[in-house]
Amino acid sequence: MSDTGGVLRGAEKPRTHALHLGWATWFTAELILATAGLVVEWLAFQRAIEMILLSTPGGWGSFFSALGTLVFMLCYARVQLYSITLVHRYFTHRSFETYWWVRAIIIALFHSTLEGLVILWRGWHLQHHAVPDTALDIHSPVLYGWWHAQIFWMWKKDFIQPPGYKYMGGSHRPWYNPLKVMEKYYWWIVAFMGFAFPTVICSLWGEWEAGLLFASFTRAVMVRNLTGLINSSAHMWGETVEGGGSARNTAWKFFIWLVVGEPNHATHHKHPNYYRFGEYDPAADLIENMAKLGIAYDLKGPSGLTYARTPV
């Protein structure tokens, strides 16, 4: 929480500005293409079922191809959700330490989610923690309602240059490597990890169209909206805790599983640098497993206490 970073250097401001405009436009395109993706996949399933019912040769083949695309999409979405929570817990709150190549993998996967630049995400998020439910908290559902917090905050004018600019910096910090170079090639990584990769994988079983539309666009919209639920629902529904502000903890274990531990949001607001958000927290389990493998260390406890190794 005390980690407020420095100030962005002037040279980085125009790039940041351009990304904001691109983000809202991209999201609109994503919504349209996601719908197209759902239609393509629905038609493929329908055709496969028809072929099976009519005992046409190849019927089961197209059924399994469509199923393969669906399974891949869900698995990739899950991996991406983990990358978002790792950006949240590592780059934003520094709740553990890790090596540069692990950070590179996290950033590459995070970029594929179209959540924007890590440094912007971090800036808005630290601002959200520092001054929650004020005009500076740009996705507060308490002030602006559920839909705004879920998605529409991205269209807000001050999204273009959030007032809490001071939270965005940190180029002097060691974690900036390899972030800086990877953010320079943001759109290339987006194109490769978010679109080319799913398309190529699904083309292995002959479904490149569904790979592009369904496993890329539909998946991106799904992942973004699951993440959006933390800004919206996790500040409106569930139990509050002392010191957690308007943030809530859910009693719904399925929701915690679905967004990989993030819905224990009140506990997270109370202890923002603690790597574990709740007793049941799939992402914290992942960090502990990374520690066991030796690729994560210095896991932070609830009071900022650092564990040299996994505390388990």
Find the shortest distance in angstroms from Cβ 30 to Zn ion.
24
| Residue showing the smallest CB distance to Zn ion in the complex | 247
Residue type, 290: M
Q: Which is nearer to Zn ion, 111 or 265 (CB)?
A: 265
CA separation for the pair 276, 268 (Å, rounded): 8
**Angle CA(149)–CA(142)–CA(144) in degrees, nearest 5?**
55
Q: Which is nearer to Zn ion, 73 or 247 (CB)?
A: 247
Q: Which is nearer to Zn ion, 215 or 247 (CB)?
A: 247
Look at phi and psi of residue 239 and say left if phi exceeds 0, alpha if psi is from -120 to 50, else beta: beta
CB 142 within 8 A of CB 208: no
**Residues from 164 through 183 that contact Zn ion (CB under 5 A):** none
CA separation for the pair 35, 16 (Å, rounded): 29
Select from 78-86, 107-115, 146-154, 245-253 the region that touches Zn ion (CB under 5 A): 245-253
Find the shortest distance in angstroms from Cβ 114 to Zn ion.
20
Q: Which is nearer to Zn ion, 247 or 287 (CB)?
A: 247
Q: Which is nearer to Zn ion, 66 or 247 (CB)?
A: 247
Q: Token pair of 148, please?
A: 């705004």
Axis crossing angle, helix 13-53 with helix 219-231, rounded to the nearest 10: 120
CB 165 within 8 A of CB 20: no
List CB contacts of 38: < 8 A, sequence separation 6 or more: 214, 218
Find the shortest distance in angstroms from Cβ 248 to Zn ion.
9
Give kind and range of the element (H or E) at residue 37.
helix 13-53
Q: Which is nearer to Zn ion, 220 or 247 (CB)?
A: 247
Select from 30-38, 144-152, 196-204, 242-250 the region that touches Zn ion (CB under 5 A): 242-250
Select from 98-106, 113-121, 183-191, 247-255 the region that touches Zn ion (CB under 5 A): 247-255
Find the shortest distance in angstroms from Cβ 299 to Zn ion.
16
Find the shortest distance in angstroms from Cβ 289 to Zn ion.
21
Find the shortest distance in angstroms from Cβ 61 to Zn ion.
46
Q: Are strands 97-98 and 296-297 parallel, antiparallel or unpaired?
A: antiparallel
Select from 57-65, 163-171, 177-185, 240-248 the region that touches Zn ion (CB under 5 A): 240-248
Q: Catalog residues that contact Zn ion under the rule CB under 5 A.
A: 247
